[in-house]
Chain A
Amino acid sequence: MSTATAVLTGAGRRLGTGAPVYALLVVLLAALAITEPGFYEPDSFLAFIKRAAPLVILAAGQYLVIVSGGFDLSVGAVVTAGVVAAAEFYGSFPDAPWVLVTAGLLAAGAVVGLVNGLITTRLRVPSFITTLGMMLILEGAVFYWTGGSPQGTLPEAFRAFGRGTAGGWLPWAVLACLAVGAAAWWLMRSDFGRTLIATGDSERAAALAGVRVPRVRTLAFLGSGVAAALAAVLVAGFSGVSAQAGRGLEFEAITAVVLGGVILGGGRGSVVAAMAGAFSLQALFTLLNLQGVSGALESTVQGFIVIAAVGLGAADYGRLRRRRTPEESA
């Protein structure tokens, strides 16, 4: 536990692993300002945050799982399944109130996360395999159910959450993003967050110190499932029904979290940095679009930058650690 608590002590140290991502984000935002002078107009900046919101929320959920030592590859499928299920549901019950449907989706996401967590912790299946299987199951089920081409439309009331604004100027998505950010920040400062990081750092040490490891890890998966369902509601509102709604989002979310300096394997990294990683990734996509990098080459550039950014982060982190060790032992 002593190593675990050592990692926990001081938000400053945890910020240390995420430091490179803040630098990256500043650089990207500055580059955006130069490329597109109107970028910091309130409207377009809010629109940027709105576009980033689903990824940021997914990154917050993914962070919970990664920091506790796992992976969640099922979030992309949860988003697709959520969007398609909502459309199918509205096909049968056009007058369903949007609050009910949203709540239903969040509950379904929680169930998926719960199942992921229970399989991983109780049956001891590696989370990579559990969530990979869950991804196949969800995608297969959705397309089997809809015969391969999801149809139906979503009513305006439901889509308002993803595309509408509160008070005429503040998009609901930005509010959701802020709320999730605050909740995640609070959660990671609470006892639960501390035990979560301790679990990821050393499951055995945490268990010996009295942490109920299976429960903590299951709750992390549950959080990721709920976050994915919330992202599904936003994506559904933002871009409508599509069989491709969530494709690749799981990898984007994991990339964002790793960009934020969170170590795959668990035990280190901050949730705010993970969300900053998601913003950086979205800023990168926007920048590539504005620079007119052709759609096809976009992923090549993205690949190079992700590798370079994580490589830089890894290097910085090593130096920080070495520099700090003498002070602490002194």
Chain B
Amino acid sequence: MTAIRTEAAPKPARRFTRRRRLRFNDPVVGVWLAAAAVTLLGWIVVAIDGGNLLSRTGVTGILQNSVALGLVAVGQSAVILTGSLDLSVAYLISIGTLVAAETMQDGSVFTAVLAVLGLSAAVGLANGLIVTGLKVNAFIATLGMAFILRGWIEDNYTGPAGKVPDSFQRLGYDRIGPVPVSVFLLAGVAVALWLITKRTRLGHHMYATGGDEHAARLSGVRTKRTVVAAHVLCSLCVGAAALFLAARLGAGAPWAGTEARYDLESIAAVVLGGTALAGGRGGVAGTLGGVLVLSVLDSVFNQLSVDPFFKNVVRGVVIIAAVAIYARPRRTTPRRQPA
């Protein structure tokens, strides 16, 4: 896809785009259409129930819901693109909120932010080095890291700890019009990652490594370094999510990341957004669409006050169905061209 030069004749290029859009074959288009459809359907269902999904508070809620999952999922896309995976994100979030809140209690907000990002980068570096250096499959490496972090949390904390000052809590609660300020954090991180993946050499190397690591290495890409960088980027995004959640909760909580299952949810959002689990295809734009689908669904369920357990059932069905409909791997695409 990236190989198509912009100078190519406009006519075939346009035909190509149109065909893809008509057949929903571009996952990014597909997921945003799906998000629009889910929003519309949700709005109708909630309206029948006598509520308004897209009221001011409703929109704020949807955006607020998207931030934490969005930050994690954007980071997760970076590693999945590169052909890796990160299952340690949930426990890293929990530790991040605890470290943030405890540091803010005694010191300044600035040191706390630095401490959380530093810790995250270290965990990402460790993940990357285990995957590339020890050649442990990413699934097991990051699962092992999750166990290590879990032990650390359970050994040191039994409940909420630390206190986040009001000045920092504004990140979690302030808003401009209906838009929470935290959305700008998500937007900033997403734009940064989008630029990195699409516009820098590192990004091209990430796609190349995820597409075919062997071929990438033979073409001179330092694949190990690329994978490590992707893991560090992912963990930094997770650190940002932890800071946001700390601001939101007002304290650090050992269950901040695990209760919402950010590990599996973020992977689901990434795959919903059309990024191939095997790597090499997809991107941040689709992931944000996937996050929006999940958080709109969440808001609809909340407005209808659906039983939280039943919510999981529907969510499972929706994730499977959505991926089945529009994010499935393209099969036999070229063969049907004449039609």
A→B interface (CB under 8 Å): 73, 119, 123-126, 128-130, 132-137, 139-144, 148, 251, 254-255, 258, 263-264, 294-304, 306-307, 310-311, 314-315, 318
B137 cross-chain contacts in A, Cβ below 8 A: 258, 263-264, 310, 314
Establish whether residues A258 and B140, one from each chain, have CB atoms under 8 Å apart when the complex forms: yes
- Binding site secondary structure of chain A: helix
Establish whether residues A136 and B323, one from each chain, have CB atoms under 8 Å apart when the complex forms: no
Q: Which residues, 125 to 181 on B, are CB-close (under 8 Å) to A? A: 130, 134-137, 139-141, 143-152, 154-155
In order of increasing CB-CB distance, the 4 nearest A-B pairs are: A300-B151, A140-B312, A303-B147, A136-B316
Establish whether residues A307 and B316, one from each chain, have CB atoms under 8 Å apart when the complex forms: no
With A126-B271, A135-B316, A136-B316 known as contacts, the answer to whether A303 contacts B144 (CB < 8 A) is: yes
Determine which of B136, B140, B307, B316 lies in contact with A133 in the assembled complex, contact meaning CB atoms within 8 Å. Answer: B316
Establish whether residues A140 and B139, one from each chain, have CB atoms under 8 Å apart when the complex forms: no
B→A interface (CB under 8 Å): 130, 134-137, 139-141, 143-152, 154-155, 264, 267-268, 271, 277, 307, 309-317, 319-320, 323-324, 328-329, 331
Q: List 14 additional A-B contacts (Cβ < 8 Å) besides A119-B324, A299-B151.
A: A123-B320, A123-B324, A126-B323, A136-B313, A137-B313, A137-B317, A140-B314, A142-B309, A144-B310, A300-B152, A306-B140, A310-B141, A310-B144, A311-B135
Establish whether residues A132 and B319, one from each chain, have CB atoms under 8 Å apart when the complex forms: yes
Determine which of A135, A140, A148, A300 lies in contact with B148 in the assembled complex, contact meaning CB atoms within 8 Å. Answer: A300
With A255-B143, A300-B151, A307-B144 known as contacts, the answer to whether A148 contacts B309 (CB < 8 A) is: yes
- Looking across the interface, which residue of chain B has its beta carbon closest to that of A127? B277
Establish whether residues B264 and A132, one from each chain, have CB atoms under 8 Å apart when the complex forms: yes
Establish whether residues A129 and B268, one from each chain, have CB atoms under 8 Å apart when the complex forms: yes
Instruction: Give bound CA distance, A140 to B137, whole Å.
Output: 30
Establish whether residues A133 and B147, one from each chain, have CB atoms under 8 Å apart when the complex forms: no
> Separation in Å of the B91 CB from the closest CB of chain A?
10
With A126-B277, A141-B313, A296-B154 known as contacts, the answer to whether A302 contacts B147 (CB < 8 A) is: yes
Establish whether residues B312 and A132, one from each chain, have CB atoms under 8 Å apart when the complex forms: no
Determine which of A140, A251, A311 lies in contact with B316 in the assembled complex, contact meaning CB atoms within 8 Å. Answer: A140
Establish whether residues A140 and B309, one from each chain, have CB atoms under 8 Å apart when the complex forms: yes
Establish whether residues A311 and B130, one from each chain, have CB atoms under 8 Å apart when the complex forms: yes
Establish whether residues B313 and A140, one from each chain, have CB atoms under 8 Å apart when the complex forms: yes
B277 cross-chain contacts in A, Cβ below 8 A: 126, 128-129
> Separation in Å of the B84 CB from the closest CB of chain A?
12
- Looking across the interface, which residue of chain B has its beta carbon closest to that of A123? B324
Instruction: Give bound CA distance, A264 to B83, whole Å.
Output: 13
Could you give 6 example pairs across A and B, Cβ below 8 Å? Answer: A123-B320, A125-B320, A129-B323, A136-B316, A310-B137, A315-B134
A136 cross-chain contacts in B, Cβ below 8 A: 312-313, 315-316, 319
> Separation in Å of the B152 CB from the closest CB of chain A?
6
With A300-B150, A311-B136 known as contacts, the answer to whether A119 contacts B320 (CB < 8 A) is: yes
Instruction: Give bound CA distance, A136 to B265, whole Å.
Output: 10
Establish whether residues A303 and B146, one from each chain, have CB atoms under 8 Å apart when the complex forms: yes
Establish whether residues B264 and A254, one from each chain, have CB atoms under 8 Å apart when the complex forms: no
Establish whether residues B140 and A129, one from each chain, have CB atoms under 8 Å apart when the complex forms: no
A307 cross-chain contacts in B, Cβ below 8 A: 130, 134, 136, 140-141, 144-145
Instruction: Give bound CA distance, A304 to B130, whole Å.
Output: 11
Establish whether residues B135 and A315, one from each chain, have CB atoms under 8 Å apart when the complex forms: yes
B329 cross-chain contacts in A, Cβ below 8 A: 124
Establish whether residues A300 and B147, one from each chain, have CB atoms under 8 Å apart when the complex forms: yes
Instruction: Give bound CA distance, A308 to B328, whole Å.
Output: 35
Establish whether residues A254 and B150, one from each chain, have CB atoms under 8 Å apart when the complex forms: no
Instruction: Give bound CA distance, A140 to B271, whole Å.
Output: 21
